[in-house]
Amino acid sequence: MRNRLVLASQSPRRAELLGQIGLPFDVYVTDVDETRLDNEPSEDYVRRLAQEKCLAGWQLSKADRPAAVIGADTIVLLGDEILGKPRGLNEGKAMLAKLAGNTHTVLSGVAVSNGQCLESTVVASAVTFTALSQHDIDAYSATGEGGDKAGSYGIQGIGGIFVERIEGSFSAVMGLPVQETEALLRTLNIDTWSMRSHG
């Protein structure tokens, strides 16, 4: 089973992205405390969570001897404020109102480990929202699409209609920067092309 990867995430978006780049993988869901440390910089926070999810995934899956484990985390930053997954409909609407007409930063951390080495990176992307009416916010919130997503929207779904401009990695905004993930795997000397051909 050394030719498979493990994705330490229950996110269907991350699974979709990893599948799109042709890599065979199994999913292991980890349980990591996502509490931010006191005075922890945003980039350090998202990198630490990606690393902790990766290491937790390794512990869960090591008996299967995966080629590597991938952990990831994504946060939305508006100024210095972190907008995580909304805790209910009203908080989700409040987040969308804050994002409307403004540019926010999406930080996506990704970490990979082969059991001996751990490599990680953080990718920053700038996303500009168009102005939103209260009807836009209410109608979108009613779809439920943003309920489990940082910032209360999904760029790959209906939420994409709010995005005026993006500077950076589209896949990172979705939750897994695929170019950087590939680069980290190669840093661990993983032959990703061979994995693709042998699936």
| The pLDDT value given to residue 199 | 59
pLDDT in tens, 37-78: 999 999 999 999 999 999 999 999 999 999 999 999 999 999
Cα 185 from Cα 166, distance rounded (Å): 26
| The pLDDT value given to residue 171 | 96
Task: Look at the chain and report how many structural domains it folds into.
Answer: 1
pLDDT at 154 over 70: yes
pLDDT at 1 over 50: no
- How does DSSP classify residue 35? P
- Pair 156, 171: CB distance under 8 Å: no
pLDDT in tens, 81-121: 999 889 999 999 999 999 999 999 999 999 999 999 999 99
Structure tokens at 127: 């996303």
Report residue 27 CA to chain centroid gap: 15
DSSP string across 45-56: HHHHHHHHHHHH
In the chain, the percentage of residues whose pLDDT exceeds 90 is: 92
Instruction: Look up the pTM and report it.
Output: 0.92
Structure tokens at 147: 């309920």
Catalytic annotation, residues = 73
Work out whether the CA dihedral 179, 11, 140, 95 comes out positive or negative: negative
pLDDT in tens, 136-148: 999 999 999 999 8
Range of the domain at 132: 5-198
CATH number for the domain spanning 191: value is 3.90.950.10
